[in-house]
Chain A
Amino acid sequence: MKTLILIAIGSALVNNVVLSQFLGLCPFLGVSKKVKTASGMGTAVIFVITIASLVAAVIYRFILTPLDLQYLRTIVFILVIAALVQFVEMFLKKFIKSLYESLGVYLPLITTNCAVLGVALTNVQKSYGILESVVNGFATAVGFAVAIIILAGLREKMEYNDIPKPFQGMPIVMITAGLMAIAFCGFAGLF
């Protein structure tokens, strides 16, 4: 239990997936204009990454390892993840309409998001078991959600600020993200 909590805190805050590992940067910068959409994106990412890390860990443990095919993990994971996201989208559309309406728009955006593949590969690299993989995936995604929602909140406040022309748009968002990254560096002292 203690290791699980340590893994969770470590990947949600200390090694934040966007702010210190730069994975999933594109949705982080692109879908963070409003807190509402940012939280939608965050939820969708939590949903997808948790499922994807479960499926990837199961496949690695029960198919790739017994067959000694670990070196095929990149190919297998990316295909499984891409298919999985599409499948989840179809499933939600068919059976859980309300969830689809709130997450549906964001799902295709995550299909080939590097954070999803990154988490699956990190799990393998750190030789996590299935439970640890799921916890790590969930916590990483929570870290992403926290970061994107904070950034969206900051961006909403910044909207009417007077910013030099070349810095309007993306540059100022990135500077904000950089300042957030400095703040998140503080979590490194947690352990």
Chain B
Amino acid sequence: MSEETMTKTPETVGEKKEMPVVLERLWNGLAKENPTFVLTLGMCPTLAVTTSAINGLGMGLTTTVVLALSNVFISMLRKVIPDKVRIPAFIVIIASFVTVMELLLEGYLPSLYDSLGIYIPLIVVNCIILGRAEAYASKNPVIPSFFDGLGMGLGFTFALTCIGLVREILGSGKAFGYMIMPESFVPVSIFVMAPGAFFVLALLTAVQNQIKIKGEAKGKDMSKIGSGSCMGSGCASCRIEGCESRKFYDAKAGGSTQAAAETKTVATVTKKKQQEGGDEA
């Protein structure tokens, strides 16, 4: 991140500060802190809708739109919303965009709307969205927040599509609905059923664990890798910094901006972590 900032600063006057932040945010969401492969957040939709690549893609893009727009609005309103009622305020903003997306999908993409079903309104309780609102959008200006949401959303989309593709190929021999395996291939239909989702996720977490163990053996900071989903809490809980309070009315709030600094501190993230996305694909 810092290298990019260094090399790009002495250029155009208007964009010189914005561009690196924008790129850094996109890259952060796509690879460095990929919500699924690295942070293991938002597991409920990940498991439920990845029965095919196209479903994963649709869910991912819907979430991306909601994430980017709600980040923009939360960022715009960040000075207006009182700290104590910020969680309900965020939820209202997020839920409004989810409702908008739900109506749009129902109107223009009814087939996708039918196959995603109840998981569209459940985007509201996706921990990635509330997590980003808490950890980034509520403390940063509008444009970086937008790209943070976009990056995270695209990272989520990428992950869902990959998992969906793997499950679809193994479970029905198809990719994006087209038959790609030879006739002789016998589909392992368990992979498109509910149990298959657990197995795929188990393998994914095992890979994460392996990378974590190796990384720690070399003395690298691997604390960001989730390996084990949002532990012990509701789905909208966020293991990300600054989100320990999920209470509706947060009496303890106020003056807690340390998370903003934390988001920026880039722990020595290795290339290994970035490759992870590639390995899964």
A interface with B by C-beta (< 8 Å): 19-27, 29-31, 71-75, 78-79, 82-83, 85-86, 108-114, 117-118, 121-122, 125, 165-172, 174-175, 177-179, 181-182, 185
Min distance, Cβ A75 to any Cβ of chain B, angstroms: 4
* B43 to A, closest residue via Cβ: A25
Which of A22, A79, A83, A85 is the most central at the interface, judged by chain B CB atoms within 10 Å of its CB?
A22
Contacts of A177 in B (CB 8 A): 198
24 sampled A-B residue pairs with Cβ under 8 A: A19-B194, A21-B194, A22-B45, A25-B44, A26-B232, A26-B233, A27-B233, A31-B232, A72-B99, A74-B98, A74-B124, A75-B92, A78-B91, A111-B247, A111-B248, A112-B130, A114-B235, A167-B206, A171-B205, A174-B199, A177-B198, A178-B199, A178-B202, A185-B193
Q: Are A170's CB and B229's CB within 8 A?
A: yes
Contacts of B198 in A (CB 8 A): 174-175, 177-178, 181
Once the chains are docked, how many angstroms separate the CA of A129 from the CA of B237? 31
Contacts of B124 in A (CB 8 A): 74, 78, 117
Once the chains are docked, how many angstroms separate the CA of A26 from the CA of B45? 12
Give residues of chain B (47-80) contacting chain A, Cβ–Cβ below 8 Å.
47-48
Chief secondary structure at chain B's binding surface: helix
Contacts of A169 in B (CB 8 A): 205, 209, 227-228
Q: Are B121's CB and A165's CB within 8 A?
A: no
Contacts of A78 in B (CB 8 A): 91, 95, 124-125
Given B43, B194, B228, B234, which contacts A113 in the complex, CB threshold below 8 Å?
Answer: B234
Asked if B201 is at the interface (CB within 8 A of a chain A CB), the reply is yes
Q: Are A171's CB and B202's CB within 8 A?
A: yes
Contacts of B205 in A (CB 8 A): 169-171, 174
Q: Are A174's CB and B233's CB within 8 A?
A: no
Once the chains are docked, how many angstroms separate the CA of A181 from the CA of B192? 13
Once the chains are docked, how many angstroms separate the CA of A74 from the CA of B246? 19
Q: Are B92's CB and A111's CB within 8 A?
A: no
Q: Are A166's CB and B209's CB within 8 A?
A: yes
Q: Are B207's CB and A26's CB within 8 A?
A: no
Q: Are B209's CB and A118's CB within 8 A?
A: no
Q: Are B246's CB and A111's CB within 8 A?
A: yes
Q: Give 5 closest A-B pairs by Cβ, nearest first.
A: A30-B232, A178-B198, A112-B236, A170-B228, A174-B202
Q: How many A-B residue pairs have CB under 8 A?
A: 171
Q: Are B195's CB and A26's CB within 8 A?
A: no
Once the chains are docked, how many angstroms separate the CA of A78 from the CA of B248? 11
Min distance, Cβ A63 to any Cβ of chain B, angstroms: 17
Contacts of A110 in B (CB 8 A): 234
Q: Are A171's CB and B209's CB within 8 A?
A: yes
Assuming the A-B contacts A74-B98, A122-B118, are A170 and B227 also in contact, with contact meaning beta carbons closer than 8 angstroms in the complex? Answer: yes
Q: Are B236's CB and A171's CB within 8 A?
A: no
Asked if B135 is at the interface (CB within 8 A of a chain A CB), the reply is no
Q: Are A114's CB and B209's CB within 8 A?
A: no
Give residues of chain B (184-235) contacting chain A, Cβ–Cβ below 8 Å.
190, 193-199, 201-203, 205-207, 209-210, 213, 227-235
* B235 to A, closest residue via Cβ: A114
Q: Are A181's CB and B95's CB within 8 A?
A: no
Once the chains are docked, how many angstroms separate the CA of A73 from the CA of B124? 12
Which of A125, A166, A169 is the most central at the interface, judged by chain B CB atoms within 10 Å of its CB?
A166
B250-264 Cβ-contact flags toward A at 8 Å (1 or 0): 000000000000000
Q: Are B213's CB and A30's CB within 8 A?
A: no
Given A79, A175, A185, which contacts B202 in the complex, CB threshold below 8 Å?
Answer: A175
Once the chains are docked, how many angstroms separate the CA of A29 from the CA of B40? 13
